[in-house]
Amino acid sequence: MDLRAPFGRIDPDRCGCDAEPGALMPVDEALARGLALVDPVARCESVPLFRATGRVLAEPVRAALPLPPFDNAAMDGYALRLSDLAGPGPWTLPVGARMRAGDPPCPLPDGAACRILTGAALPTGADAVVAQEDTARANETIRLDRRPAPGQHIRRAGDDLAAGEDVVPAGRLIGPREAGAIAAAGVARVRVRARLRAAVLCTGSELVPPGQPLAPGQIWDANAAILAAALDQPWIDRTDLGAVPDDPEALAKALVAACAQTNLVITTGGVSVGDEDHMARLFTEAGGVIHVMKIAMKPGKPLTIGRLGRTLWLGLPGNPVAAFVTWTVIGARLAEAMVGIAPTIPRKTLARLAAPLRHRPGRCEYRPARVLGYCAQGTQMIECLEAPGSHRVALLVRAEGLALIPAEAEAMSAGALVEFLPFGTAHRKDT
């Protein structure tokens, strides 16, 4: 089954929101404009491989030697020279040498086999390894009944990678696979991008840090925690600036100071159309230029993106679900681009709706959804959670991803294919 067919436009870089919803900016365009504003972190540093986990490789790591560096045995057994097996079998050969992993290669004695252990260098002159279980050993001789194939059970030098090839390309986040390949190539230090300096500032006179008592009318600040968790990455150097009340003077001071100190300033709240939504005006008054606002996404319409000097400002909406969704869909992409992370796998998959749904056309909607399992054709089945609302932060905990309802859709039937953005791979169930 071709999962692309029903859409004809599945592209991990596009959001699926391609309707023209009047004055609103399509999500794709908001993302593209945001990416065009990115001024990548240029500074690099050299760090020990063992301290490089989660950092972004700034330049490719090259293999100085082939990988593996020498021909070696893939099995415990006996290395031999095929020309020593004259006539029809069975053949008997004396065991004339012994090679363990780590021993320097030795020549294979004429007319003899060499006892060899996995990973040991192949004796010069040997052209096959016979597995121990395919031989019968008596005293210092082995007997074999079947002629080995040339090159059998030999791992050739360079069969993983040739000398001079890239072991890991630039732009990779260093995880276990990358670290293993870099170490296998003998490289102990890597050049990585300097950490992205990001500041998080929440706005709202109603906000109280969790752990402190609430006065009437106040709420606990959820966004600072959402963004602290989202930005808790080895490639980000995050500053938590806490919450600032809706006082234009205090907000302007905090915003300008944050922009002066970091590459990326993320604020939440104060970007909508209410009387106390001051952020866009304050940003402009401080000399910033706004490039993105009023997005055709739900939640997330008030998302505002601008630049002040070399600093990118992301004004996320105040509602926690909207802050989370706009960060996930757009903010994270911009942050990754700022340190040159080259995405390797599509973020989105396709999934089928388990139940019909209705949607008001106009904005691309990101609905919290749960994965139910797989249909007979192997496509994921998802269930959109009931009555989403951009304040329902607890609902997000029950979701496993966001289903993208295209802007133009009015009703979608059960079984319809939608794009699905899973939250991550941690804590997945086995089935």
Strand boundaries in 21-140, DSSP class E: 44-48, 61-62, 72-73, 77-80, 91-99, 113-116, 128-131, 136-138
Q: Are the C-beta atoms of residues 194 and 292 closer than 8 Å to each other?
A: no
299 is an interface residue for ligand AMP by CB under 6 A: no
Q: Is 123 in the site for ligand AMP (CB under 6 A)?
A: no
Say whether residue 222 binds ligand AMP (CB under 6 A): yes
Amino acid at 66: P
Q: Which stretch binds ligand AMP (CB under 6 A): 65-73, 292-300, 315-323, 351-359?
A: 315-323
- Number of amino acids touching Mg ion (CB under 5 A): 4
* Pairing mode, strands 72-73 and 207-208: unpaired
Q: Residue 354 carries which DSSP code?
A: S
Residue 304 binding ligand AMP, by CB under 6 A: no
Q: Is 223 in the site for ligand AMP (CB under 6 A)?
A: yes
How far is residue 102's CA from residue 66's CA, in Å, rounded to a whole number? 17
Contact with ligand AMP (CB under 6 A) among 118, 218, 272, 379 = 272
Specify the residue, 167 or 243, whose C-beta has the smaller distance to ligand AMP: 243
Query: How far is Cα 285 from Cα 281, in angstroms, rounded to an integer?
Result: 6
Q: Are 192 and 52 in contact (CB under 8 A)?
A: yes
**Number of residues assigned to the chain:** 431
The pair of structure tokens assigned to 405 is 């309802």
Handedness of CA 362, 299, 12, 57 (dihedral sign): positive
Token match 């099995």: residue?
75
Which of 28, 39, 206, 237 touches ligand AMP by CB under 6 A?
206
Asked if residue 239 binds ligand AMP (CB under 6 A), the reply is no
Regarding 319 and contact with ligand AMP (CB under 6 A), the answer is yes
Verify binding: residue 199, ligand AMP, rule CB under 6 A. Answer: no
Q: Is 269 in the site for Mg ion (CB under 5 A)?
A: yes
Cβ-contact 330, 36 below 8 angstroms: no
Using the contact rule CB under 5 A, the part of the chain among 187-195, 201-209, 229-237, 298-306 near Mg ion is 201-209
Helix (H) or strand (E) holding 322: helix 320-326
- How many residues in the shown chain lie near ligand AMP by CB under 6 A? 18
Taking the complex as a whole, how short is the minimal distance between the CB of residue 203 and ligand AMP, in angstroms?
6
Smallest distance, Å, CB 425 to ligand AMP? 27
Stretch that binds ligand AMP, among 21-29, 30-38, 112-120, 200-208 (CB under 6 A): 200-208
By the rule CB under 6 A, 270 interacts with ligand AMP? yes
409 neighbors 364 (Cβ within 8 angstroms): no
Does residue 318 bind ligand AMP (CB under 6 A)? yes
- Distance from C-alpha of 317 to C-alpha of 324, rounded to nearest angstrom: 9
CB of residue 198 to Mg ion, shortest distance in Å: 21
Q: Contact between 204 and Mg ion (CB under 5 A)?
A: yes
Q: What is the binding site for ligand AMP (CB under 6 A)?
A: 202, 204, 206-207, 219, 221-223, 268-270, 272, 274, 277, 317-320
